[in-house]
Chains A and B, each alone.
Chain A
Amino acid sequence: GAVVSQHPSRVICKSGTSVKIECRSLDFQATTMFWYRQFPKKSLMLMATSNEGSKATYEQGVEKDKFLINHASLTLSTLTVTSAHPEDSSFYICSASPTGGAGNTIYFGEGSWLTVV
């Protein structure tokens, strides 16, 4: 099956610094990738849709200047949490689809635990 890789799996950063999380589709090209945030024992909250070669589409309430998304190639999207604060600590998950369209399966990365101290 299709593989999506996220890196790092765990990261600890100091308050006020920025941290980048990478999402790679290893064996397929992904025009669209999705970034989710998951709080402990909660469902996934869609943060933004990342489109290769264009600006990301952010969900309502998500600060685009704080959560920078770049989708520079068909196999890589990055999420940068800028000026991180403890409340940004969370589990971040990306997903990607081999082809566009609402009926297509999306494949998930293993997630990245961010802890801001």
Chain B
Amino acid sequence: AQSVTQLDSHVSVSEGTPVLLRCNYSSSYSPSLFWYVQHPNKGLQLLLKYTSAATLVKGINGFEAEFKKSETSFHLTKPSAHMSDAAEYFCVVSVVSGTYKYIFGTGTRLKVLA
């Protein structure tokens, strides 16, 4: 069965320092993976997605993620955190089970300290 695990429920970084949000997936097939960001009381915005093309995926706002099949990981990184990056981040895997659907990780809340 397909699933996604976000290893950290909370991450705190200082402004200007690197960000690492971890995600591991489980999939019987070549997965499609996404990272979404949710600001308080808002919908979700796509940061980036992986769909079996380049393993290093660049997204919006300076974020990128690397698909590592050997480690079944899809960690999200950013070289330098900004205060506006404080939000909830969700790793998502899409699966095909009859029809297709999207399975969400439990989320990681990123806090950026001044």
Interface residues on chain B, size class: 20 to 34
Is the Cβ of B104 less than 8 Å from the Cβ of A57?
Answer: no
- Chain B residue with Cβ nearest A93: B43
Assuming the contacts A43-B90, A43-B107, A103-B94, asked whether A108 and B102 have C-beta atoms less than 8 A apart, the reply is no
Is the Cβ of A111 less than 8 Å from the Cβ of B42?
Answer: yes
| Secondary structure dominating the interface of A | strand
Which of A4, A57, A108 counts the most B-chain CB atoms under 10 A from its CB?
A: A108
Which of B45, B104, B105 counts the most A-chain CB atoms under 10 A from its CB?
A: B104
Within the complex, the shortest CB–CB distance from A22 to chain B, in Å, comes to 14
List residues of chain B with CB within 8 A of the CB of A77.
Answer: none
> For residues 66 through 114 of chain B, which have their beta carbon under 8 Å from a beta carbon of chain A?
90, 94-96, 98-107, 109
Q: Roughly how many angstroms separate A102 CA and B52 CA in the complex, as a whole number?
A: 12
- Tally A residues with Cβ within 8 Å of B: 31
Q: Roughly how many angstroms separate A100 CA and B90 CA in the complex, as a whole number?
A: 21
A-B pairs under 8 A by CB, number: 63
B56 at interface by CB-CB < 8 Å: no
A61 at interface by CB-CB < 8 Å: no
> B45-61 interface mask toward A, CB cutoff 8 Å, 1 = contact, 0 = none?
11001011000000000
| Secondary structure dominating the interface of B | strand
Is the Cβ of A103 less than 8 Å from the Cβ of B36?
Answer: no
List residues of chain A with CB within 8 A of the CB of B51.
Answer: 103
List residues of chain B with CB within 8 A of the CB of A108.
Answer: 36, 43-45
> For residues 28 through 75 of chain A, which have their beta carbon under 8 Å from a beta carbon of chain B?
32, 34, 36, 41-46, 49, 51, 57
> Which B residues are within 8 Å of any A CB, using their own CB?
32, 34, 36, 41-46, 49, 51-52, 90, 94-96, 98-107, 109
> Which A residues are within 8 Å of any B CB, using their own CB?
1, 4, 6, 32, 34, 36, 41-46, 49, 51, 57, 91, 93, 95, 100-111, 113
